[in-house]
A and B are shown apart, each in its own frame.
Chain A
Amino acid sequence: MPHPWLKERPLTPCLRGGFSTVNQTGSWRVIRPVLDISKCRDCSMCWLYCPEGVIDRENNYSIDYDYCKGCGVCAVECPVDAIEMVKEE
């Protein structure tokens, strides 16, 4: 059976920028970051440090769980501990 990527991925040396959105890396996650917005002081550190760029600071720091890999850097670097890492069910 052909790999599912072969259907979508053209056999060329270049790809359209942003093609990686087909890869929903959220499935890698074992712990998920949960933000307590009442503690948040709007310092943007989580937004800056997120390696994937899935935290949207314009929209109350909402986290895109489709792509968050659950590394936990945001929870460690948050100066007021507003982000907690919760085990995925």
Chain B
Amino acid sequence: MSLKIRDLPNEELVAPGNSGCPGCGATMGARMAMKVLGSRTIMVNGTGCMTVNYGVLAAARFPYLHMLFETTGAVLSGLDAGLRSLGKREGVTLLGWAGDGGTADIGFQSLSGAVERGHKFVYICYDNESYMNTGGQRSGVTPYGASTTTCPAGKRSIGESRPMQRRKDMVEIMAAHGIPYAATASLAFPMDYMAKVKRAAEVDGPSYVHLLSPCPPGWGSNDELTVEVSRLAVETGMWILYEVVDGERKFNKRLKTLRPITDYLKTQKRFRHLLDQPEEIEKIQSFVTKRAERLGLLG
């Protein structure tokens, strides 16, 4: 059963006029997710850009809760338990929506606890690879070499210095919890992303979707290239599309060959300083190539 673009509802659950930046990947991703989940969804939003987008001026035409950074998982657990005891859980989807900082760093313990207790919810992390709402500070998932406001590139710094191997891999961490469904997604493959959200909502238990969400002001990419940057991330092997269903890993997009990593890096100002440092590019390229070979992504 595949999802078709014709079958998506025309009804807009998100009002125009939200305060998001032009070309925001998170607004785009949330709108697509709501097309699949429908109006009987409660969105629990950990602090982040989406608070500005949906919370400040109430763009959401469905129940929306803005929560503290660290409580997204706890509020989802409480809503799940509360609706169950009131006998109103049937037909309601609980959607947790938080950024990478609110998921991998600050909100990590409450998410981990909610998944471990086995509450039923869909959690989507929109990953813009820094704390973009507060001006772009580094987070636990910032890639190697990216210039952020707390690790700016300069004469003695190449930006984020943590090696690629130690970047927090949230989907693998969630898979290690024994979660029934976890997946990565990209805006450049919208039907794949929406099918994953739909599947995540159908699972009995917690489910996790990690969406790469380009941030034009924070990454220094052009507004109109949001989707193109997502596509390049997949084609260069920086971002791997796969899903973990009950511990089984399945790739959704296999590649014949990887495009050179510079195709991705040169679209963004945060990597601009790397372009005249071939040895740094080689480090990233060799990590990406080795990972693709090790996982069996190619072919």
Contact = CB atoms under 8 A, between A and B. Distances in A.
A45 B64 CA distance: 27
A72 B58 contact: no
B16 A53 contact: yes
A23 B57 contact: yes
B17 A71 contact: no
B223 A73 contact: yes
B17 A22 contact: yes
B64 A17 contact: yes
The dominant DSSP class at the A interface is loop
A17 B61 contact: yes
Contact of B24 (A51, A58, A85): A51
Range for the number of chain A residues in contact with chain B: 35 or more
Contacts of A70: 22, 223
B28 A51 contact: yes
B68 interface: no
Contact of A69 (B5, B22, B58, B61): B22
Nearest to A45: B5
A52 B186 CA distance: 18
Interface string A70-85: 1111011100000001
Interface string B4-17: 01101010101111
Given A16-B58, A24-B17, A51-B31, 18 more contacts: A17-B64, A18-B58, A20-B17, A20-B18, A22-B57, A23-B57, A44-B5, A44-B6, A48-B5, A48-B190, A50-B28, A52-B18, A71-B224, A72-B222, A73-B23, A75-B224, A76-B224, A76-B228
